Amino acid sequence: MPVSFSSTGPALDAARLDELAGPGLPAEYWNFMLANNGGALRESAHLPDDSSGTSVRAFLTVDDPQGPAGYDLAHYLKSYAGRYPQGFLPIGVDGSGNLILLDTGYEQPGSVWFWDHEAEADEDEPPRTDNITKIAESFAQFIATLTTELTDAQEEYIRQAAAEATFTPGTYKQDEPFTFD
């Protein structure tokens, strides 16, 4: 199933995107931003037969009206500065704090990469490169292959995980009021 948006960004100010991202962005990414200016997906999407764990919850927007609470590109550029290698532009996020990066001068400009925050460098170290994985040769290829459908292997994994899960049925009862200490 192709991806669809639950919301998109405001009309794109192309000069603002150029200011944030710099010149030389691939035409297919420019066209995508002109049409949508990023936005949140109705359902998280993933790449079929991908072992990197890549999923996409939203594409970053220019001047998101929700600001840092939304998917604002300027916020992500500031918050993630120095955490991923130079030569990338964050263009999307998953639901776990990982980024989708567009190569703007790292190795193969125009290619799309997954950045795993679980394996990022410590604060006092330079960004690592062993936590980034190329997931598409181009933005057009990346968008064209995103899907919300599960593969047979993914469905089987979910069935097995559910079959092996242990839980105690019943209603949760809290003995004491919850407080922050």
pLDDT grade for 166, boundaries at 50, 70 and 90: low
Confidence of residue 58 (pLDDT cuts 50, 70, 90): very high
Q: Give a yes or no: residue 175 inside a domain.
A: no
Instruction: Give the separation between CA 31 and CA 14, rounded to whole angstroms.
Output: 11
Per-residue pLDDT tens digits for 118-148: 888 888 888 889 999 999 999 999 999 998 8
Structural domain that includes position 97: 5-164
- For residue 61, tell me if it sits in a domain: yes
Give the pair of three-digit tokens for residue 41: 């997906």
Structural domain includes residue 17: yes
Q: What is the mean pLDDT of residues 8-33?
A: 93
Mean pLDDT over the full length of the chain: 86
Quote the number of domains for the chain: 1
* AA identity, residue 167: F
**pLDDT > 60? residue 45:** yes
- State residue 178's pLDDT score: 52
Q: What are 91's two structure tokens?
A: 């263009």
Q: Parallel, antiparallel, or unpaired for β 88-93 and 55-59?
A: antiparallel
Q: Tell me, yes or no, whether 174 lies in a domain.
A: no
Instruction: Tell me if 171 is assigned to some domain.
Output: no
Average pLDDT over residues 48-75: 84
Looking at the domain assignment, is residue 177 inside a domain?
A: no
pLDDT given at position 181 = 46
Residue 158 pLDDT greater than 80, yes or no: no
pLDDT for 57 beyond 70 = yes
Cβ-count burial of 83 within 10 angstroms (0-12 exposed, 13-18 middle, 19+ buried)? middle
Which CATH number goes with the domain that contains 32? 3.40.1580.10
pTM of the shown model:
0.82
> Is position 169 within any domain?
no
- Asked whether residue 62 is domain-assigned, the answer is yes
Q: What angle do CA 34, 83, 94 make, to 5 degrees?
A: 50
